Every structure is written in C-alpha cells, then in structure tokens.
Amino acid sequence: MAFKMLSHALLLAFLSLFTFVAADFGFTTSGNNFVIDAGSANPLIFTVSKSSCDIASIKYRGNELQGSSGKGTHIGSGLGTATVSAAEVTVNGQRVIKVTCATSTLTHYLVVRQGESIIYMATYITAQPSIGELRFIARLNKNVLPYEYPFGDVSSTLDSSTVVEGSDVFVVNGQTRSKFFSSERFIDEDSWCVYGTSTPEEIHACVIVPQRESSSGGPFFRDINSNRVGDSTNLYNYMNSGHVQTEAFRTGLHGPYLFQFSRSGIPTKKSADVSFFSGLGLQGYVADSGRGRVTGTASGVPSKFQTVVHWYNSAAQYWTYASSSGAFTSPLMKPGTYTMVLYQTEYKVATTSVTVSAGGIVSKNIASTLTTPATSLLKIGEFDGQPTGFRNADKFLRMHPSDSRMESWGPLTYTAGSSATKDFPMAIFKSVNNPTTVKFTLSSAPGAATLRIATTLSFAGARPSVTVNSWSGATPAAPVKIDSRGVTRGAYRGYGEVYDFAVPSGILVSGSNTITISVASGSSGDTYLSPNFIVDAVELFK
C-alpha cells in the first residue's frame, strides 16, 4: 500500500514537471495572431494581433492572465490598426523574437529572449499621441491577479459606493481610492506589480523601467502604476502624460521596459538586462558605446537632506543620488549639452550646464548657492521641496483630501514655541482652510525683515497673500499655470515657486506678532478643487 502511495506521488510529481517543461521557443501564426512561445522553464505564451498589435492572451504556467473584458493589453487605448511583423534574430548567440508594430508616428516593439518569462518593450514616437498621453496598459485577470504591489489597495476602485471627484476618485468602504495613488517618484521606482497568492498559485506580473530618459517631468515626477477596476487588474507604464505636466513631452525611444512574470519573489530593476537591445536595430536606440557620463562632487547640501543631481535637455533627462561625501556618477547619457541641477531633497539650490560626448567621461562639480539667513526669526518646515511634516503630508499621497482618515484641515493657527509642525497645513485651499494664522513672540523689534514662503505646487492660479500685524504685502503675480489637478490626485511637485515679502521696519514689534497667509486667486471652486497651493516652508528672517 505504501509502495502504491509513493508511486502515485512520484507520478504526480512527474506529471507536474512534464506539464511545465520548457516548450519550443519561437512564433507561429494562428488566424490573425502571432503566437509567441518564450521557451521558458515557467512557460510564457502570448498572442499578438497582426492587425492592431493588441495582446489578446497571456498564458503563464498554463494560467490565462489576460482579463476577460475584451479589451487588449496595448499602447494607449490600442493602436486600432498597425503594420505588424515578427522575426527571429540572434543576438550575442541568443535567440530573440522581435515583433514590430508601426503606425505613421509610433513604432512599438515587443521582444522575447529565449528562456525568459519576460516581454521586453520599447516605444518610439515622432509625435505625442493625439490623446495627450503615451502609456502601456496591461488589462489582466483580476481573479488570478487580485493584489497590487507595493502600495496595496490604495488604487483599487472595486465595489466603490460613490465618486468624490470626476471619474477617477472613488469611495470604497469609507476610504478614497484612485489609480493616481499608486504612483511613485521616478527616482525611487523599482518594480511595481499585480499578483495572486493562491489562484491557483503564486504569480507576479511586474513592470520594470530601467531608465526614463525620454519621459518628462524630472526625477520627482510621479504617474499611475496600477489599479483594479471593473473586471480587470491594470498594470501601467506611463511614459508621457498631462498629469501635472511641467515640461514639454519628449519624443524618441521610450524604453526598453520590462513586463516580467514570476512564480514568487519580486523582480528588481537591478536584475534587468537590456544591453542586448543594441543588436536589435530599434529606431532611436543608443547603445552604451554611444553614450557618456558625468562625474563630480555635489557640495553644500546639509546631511539631513537627500543630495540629488539632475540633467535634462529637450531630448533626454537623467538623475542620480550623490553619496554621503557628495560624490556622484551619472547614468550613461546620450551626447548633448544638458542643464545640470542640484537639489536638497527636491528644493533646487544650484544650476549649471555640462556637455556630454559619446564614449567620454566629463568631470563637473556643483555647489549649492542657497544662503543661510544671518538671523532667522521664525521658521516652519524645511526647504526640501516637499510638504514634509505639515498636517496631512503623511497621508495625501495615497488618499483624497476629503478622506475621513485625514486630520482636520482647519483653518489652523500655528503658535511658534508650542505648536508642532503638523499644526500647519500642507495645503491651503481657498474654500476650505483659508487663511492660516501664525502667532509668534519676538524679544525685540527687529526692523525690516523678509518673509519667505516656498510652495511646491499651485492650482487655479493660487499664490500666498500675507498680512503681518497691520501691514499687508503686495499680492504676487500668478504663477505659471499647470493645467491639472494636483493635491487631490496625490501630487505635489510643480515648478516650486518661492515668494519673498519685504516687511518694512516698524511692522514687527517686541512681544506678540501675527502673520496670516491667505490664498490669492482670480478663480474659484468648490472645496478641494478651489484654488490652493502646497507649502514647502515658511521663514521670517533678517
């Protein structure tokens, strides 16, 4: 009996091995589709429409991962029609399948390397798509892949009861949810995934973007990564969008980027190898040999801040963290002349320029030009380009300002010496918590002073208007308009305006003083869509 049980167990083990043995690498034609077999130990087989470039089926280890909505996995909302071809090539002795999908202004590549459960992609554009955004979206089976990583269900809008704003912020079980809440700063992105643990086995589907040189917005830009809605779990790579857009869209080659599948564990950016793309003949691809680097030392940023160096021009963008000593080495960059920026965390403190040559390494140091006031009379927050420490700054990235988990927005009064930083709001809304009051005591009358208010993002022309005791400062000019919602989508990075108000001598007095900070704007709006700005820091100094 024991022998029979053992034989049965061995048979099951053998059959399991047989079921998932690596299949033959290659592609075939089935009707209007190319069927591509990655020839991997954990079998990956997917179909690509020969007329539209839509991926209509993704089978991993026998599990159908494509959603049942009838909508494909594709660029944008689908190319509609495209010229689609497939070919097998050999790169560095490895077999590779390259699918090319071409339209008049866009060429999308799907690439598979033998033995890997990865769909590599790259997207070349000569013009921004007419819909105003360039994205890849995988519409996946929510029954097999019901969870999101790394931010959990903050973007899941399944079972929503009401809509808070437009058609993209919802209430689920009393909590606000939106696909925008799945975003992460470009500089911090690693992989983001949807996954299942027992339906019928643990499976991860992840996107990895090794570099974003052709996207726009810089190192601190954030965009949609995933969400669950309707009958699918969606995974994205947003390459260009109008979501808090601060610079012109870049054309050229976006990618390579990876759509990777695994049984357990989360793949990381460090494990991504796209060097073989140099042998694929993609439009716009620049191999490592055709690039250069910048090395140097960044100085003057206090150790409590991150030291970030950023390079950009109209064709490309790059960034890196400097070490604790300030040393940095850029990513490999396309040749060209770049604006080079130094940030303390996200607050711009220096700008210069540098020229990069193919195959070369150029040395370029950069030092902070930010000066420390001789006398600081009052300071709230830090000049770090973020609303760090202010009320609700620890929540807004993953929830709407109206969420019941938010602390009261006010109007608030901050009293120097007794109030905590969180007693000052991270955002001031014209129709919600306007104005914010600051009370402080001076031991003597200081004479003339400067009140500096740094903001990170403005909505609907909002900027600060101030009153210091009996004196009212001139209202600043409206900032450059960003035609997008911000804080209600969990965004805070705009142009980073800094407003200085020259307080005349005789206004500040020995003893009690009061500053009120109000929202100035010629526009109006309801509650959290009323004109608002996000606060970086406030300082009164001589």
CATH of the domain at 525: 2.60.120.260
Do 52 and 163 fall within a single domain?
Answer: yes
Do 100 and 234 fall within a single domain?
Answer: yes
Which two three-digit tokens encode residue 153? 């269900």
Who's near 452: CB < 8 A, 6+ residues apart? 498, 499, 500, 501, 537, 538, 539, 540, 541
CATH number of the domain within which 258 lies: 2.70.98.10
Give the DSSP H/E element, type plus range, for residue 513.
strand 511-520
Who's near 31: CB < 8 A, 6+ residues apart? none
Whether 157 contacts 178, CB under 8 Å: yes
Do 146 and 206 fall within a single domain?
Answer: yes
Do 402 and 535 fall within a single domain?
Answer: yes
Count of H-run helices and E-run strands, the chain: 1, 38
Do 505 and 363 fall within a single domain?
Answer: no
Do 294 and 413 fall within a single domain?
Answer: no
User: In whole angstroms, how far apart are CA 226 and each of 115, 266, 498?
Assistant: 27, 15, 34
Which of residues 367, 402, 430 is at a domain's end?
Answer: 367
CATH number of the domain within which 322 lies: 2.60.40.1120
User: Does residue 1 belong to any structural domain of this protein?
Assistant: no
User: Does residue 3 belong to any structural domain of this protein?
Assistant: no
Domain hosting residue 480, numbered range = 376-541
Residue-level pLDDT at 23: 65
| Strand ranges for 226-306 from DSSP E | 226-229, 232-240, 252-262, 293-299
User: Does residue 503 belong to any structural domain of this protein?
Assistant: yes
Which of residues 253, 279, 305 is at a domain's end?
Answer: 279
Do 480 and 348 fall within a single domain?
Answer: no
Rounded distance, CA 431 to CA 249, Å?
33
Q: Are strands 293-299 and 361-363 parallel, antiparallel or unpaired?
A: parallel
Do 132 and 264 fall within a single domain?
Answer: yes
Residue-level pLDDT at 199: 66
Residue-level pLDDT at 537: 98
Do 32 and 181 fall within a single domain?
Answer: yes
Of the candidates 277, 332, 255, 269, the residue with the CA atom closest to the CA atom of residue 92: 277
User: Does residue 8 belong to any structural domain of this protein?
Assistant: no
User: Does residue 479 belong to any structural domain of this protein?
Assistant: yes
Count of positions (residues) in the chain: 542
Per-residue pLDDT tens listing for the chain (542 residues): 333 333 333 333 333 333 454 569 999 999 999 999 999 999 999 999 999 999 999 999 999 999 988 899 999 999 999 999 999 999 999 999 999 999 999 999 999 999 999 999 999 999 999 888 999 999 999 999 999 999 999 999 988 989 998 789 999 999 999 999 999 999 999 999 999 987 678 999 999 999 999 999 999 999 999 999 988 999 999 999 999 999 999 999 999 999 999 998 899 999 999 999 999 999 999 999 999 999 999 999 999 999 999 999 999 999 999 999 999 999 999 999 999 999 999 999 999 999 999 999 999 999 999 999 999 999 999 999 999 999 999 999 999 999 999 999 999 999 999 999 999 999 999 999 999 999 999 999 999 999 999 999 999 999 999 999 999 999 999 999 999 999 999 999 999 999 999 999 999 999 999 999 999 999 999 999 999 999 999 999 99
Rounded distance, CA 495 to CA 405, Å?
29
Who's near 290: CB < 8 A, 6+ residues apart? 334, 335, 358, 359
Do 444 and 358 fall within a single domain?
Answer: no
Do 356 and 383 fall within a single domain?
Answer: no
User: Does residue 11 belong to any structural domain of this protein?
Assistant: no
The number of folded domains in the chain is 3
Residue-level pLDDT at 12: 33
Rounded distance, CA 211 to CA 536, Å?
28
pTM for this model (two decimals): 0.93
Which two three-digit tokens encode residue 40? 């991997």
User: Does residue 109 belong to any structural domain of this protein?
Assistant: yes
Residue-level pLDDT at 319: 98
User: Does residue 7 belong to any structural domain of this protein?
Assistant: no
Do 442 and 392 fall within a single domain?
Answer: yes
Who's near 321: CB < 8 A, 6+ residues apart? 187, 306, 307, 308, 309, 328
Phi, psi of 262 (to 5 degrees): -150, 160
**Angle at the Cα of 267 from the Cα atoms of 261 and 268, rounded to 5 degrees:** 145
Which of residues 333, 367, 401 is at a domain's end?
Answer: 367
